[in-house]
Amino acid sequence: MKLQSAARLANARPGHAMHKALRLPAIVLAAAMASALLPAATGTAHAAAAQQKTQVPGYYRMMIGQLEVTALYDGYIDLDPKILKYTSAREVQSLLARMFVESTPGMQTAVNAYLINTGRSLVLVDTGAAACFGPTLGRIGDNLRAAGYAPEQVDAVLLTHLHGDHACGLAPNGQPAFPNATVHVDKADADYWLSEANAAAAPKEAQGLFAMARAAVAPYQAANRFHTFNGGNGTEPIPGVRALPAYGHTPGHSGYLLTSGKESLLLWGDIIHSHAVQFRRPQVAIEFDTDSHAAVITRKRILADAAKGKLWVGGAHLPFPGLGHVRRDTAGYTWVPAEYGPIRTDR
Ligand SMILES: [Zn+2]
């Protein structure tokens, strides 16, 4: 195969590629001789470079009009493909394979949060999982600092919902991580997750989720910094940020829409958990949904709106940084990720 493609390349660009192909063995030979001879000649061994095995800091920045948006990486969790509903194991495997997503030990699923500097205030949308779901998560604080900010500078935290992978970062170890921030969430989510009666009535395996939500907001409630809003068209929990009800995944699950100039960014929370499966098949739901049927209706509506409005999207569980666009195709939707680049101010 390699020889054939080298020959094709050589035929296509005889002057250049053929010359290179012919020279290659000599270069390889020279390199081999050099590595064999150099240590003996100089008397100093040249050790192989150690692999670094560290990753770049988990933040990515871009402008949406005049808003500075910084995606923050909390980490990842491996999800079992079996938790996807309204599909078959066979369909899931083929959609994962199509996008080269491995399913063992699970589908690697990012947890992202978004920090918006409006120029007047610093707003964090979601806070990551802290220690609630194990050691592969809980990096929001480190990455916020790596991005040049301090947790004390955050003026407001907007939660898309009260699941632990979005809310636990509010109060690791019971202490407020953002001591100067007010915290905002849709009233329907607060009513559901903070209710003692709901917690008591929940199946045993779900009770942890209620406990996490209550522990996360407790220090902010105690300091009178916890606020709920009534989701509905036009609701602005803080000036300039519109809440968009996206109920289903949880009773008050909300997106946040920020607009500056001609550009809008929709931070949509948990509209998509599996990018490989759900853009193509929006009707596929996940076991974590409080109401999967409503979640599917919401997903279809939000995907259609995002594609039609050509909105920038930020997704809590899209591959980091989770920023990009949604395109409608004949076979569903396609995720078009943002291209890495500098902060552009010339357009
Ligand atoms: Zn989530």
Cα–Cα distance, 28 to 36 (Å, whole number): 12
Sign of the alpha-carbon dihedral angle for 95, 99, 105, 111:
negative
Cα–Cα distance, 66 to 74 (Å, whole number): 25
Q: For residue range 291-337, list pLDDT tens digits in order.
A: 999 999 999 999 999 999 999 999 999 999 999 999 999 999 999 99
163 to 209, 231, 346: CA distances (angstroms): 6, 18, 39
Tell me, yes or no, if the pTM score tops 0.85. yes
Measure 6 CA to ligand 1 centroid, in angstroms: 47
Per-residue confidence at 43, pLDDT binned at 50, 70, 90?
Answer: low
Q: For residue range 178-213, list pLDDT tens digits in order.
A: 999 999 999 999 999 999 999 999 999 899 999 999
Extract the tokens encoding 237: 């929990």
Measure 327 CA to ligand 1 centroid, in angstroms: 23
Measure 53 CA to ligand 1 centroid, in angstroms: 27
Measure 160 CA to ligand 1 centroid, in angstroms: 9
What does the pLDDT read at residue 45?
Answer: 81
Domains belonging to the chain, first-starting first, are 59-337 (3.60.15.10)
Report whether 217 contacts 167 (CB < 8 A).
Answer: yes
What does the pLDDT read at residue 344?
Answer: 85
Measure 159 CA to ligand 1 centroid, in angstroms: 11
- Comparing CA positions, the residue from 278, 270, 269 lying closest to residue 332 is 278
Extract the tokens encoding 236: 């602005």
Q: Where does the chain have alpha helices with state H?
A: 2-12, 19-42, 89-98, 140-146, 164-167, 187-193, 196-201, 207-222, 275-278, 292-308
Report whether 320 contacts 112 (CB < 8 A).
Answer: yes
Which one is predicted more confidently, 31 or 225? Answer: 225
